[in-house]
Amino acid sequence: MYASLRKHLGEMFRLLAQRKECEILEGHLMPDHVHMLIAIPPKHAVSQVVGYMKGKSAIHIARVYGERRRNFVGQSFWARGYFVSTVGRDEEVI
């Protein structure tokens, strides 16, 4: 399931980011977690973007893949928390 889910997740995360006017600059899908470098415009809170992406992707995965392996209803697909760090390209802007 992971191999087919991996490609699908990458495409889905890029689409979800675009909906929030964000851009995924780099991403790595691991078997049990995801690393992403996302450019988020100042008008969006990081927590709001991460929550949106985790929530919408979990709903989509449950709809598309839920019948194949297990029933995701009543379960959490993603871990509860997340880690955030900032990266600046131009210190004068920051």
Condensed to tens digits (0 to 9), the pLDDT of residues 11-58 reads 899 999 999 999 999 998 887 788 999 999 999 999 999 999 988 988
User: Is 73 inside a domain boundary?
Assistant: no
Q: 57, 58, 53: which is closest to 84 by C-alpha?
A: 53
Q: Is residue 57 part of a domain?
A: yes
Q: Please give the model's pTM, rounded to 2 decimal places.
A: 0.75
Domain assignment present for residue 22? The answer is: yes
Q: Is residue 7 part of a domain?
A: yes
Question: Per the structure block, which two tokens stand in for 5?
Answer: 């889910």
Residue at 80 is within a domain = no
CB-based contact 5:65 (threshold 8 Å) = yes
Pairing relation of β-strands 23-29 and 34-39?
antiparallel
Q: What is the pLDDT of residue 51?
A: 92
Q: Is residue 76 part of a domain?
A: no
CA dist 34 → 1, 42, 80 (Å): 16, 23, 13
* Structural domain count of the chain: 1
The first and second tokens of residue 27, run together, are 């991403």
Domain, as residue range, for 16 = 2-65
The pLDDT of residue 71 is above 70: no
The CATH number that applies at residue 9 is 3.30.70.1290
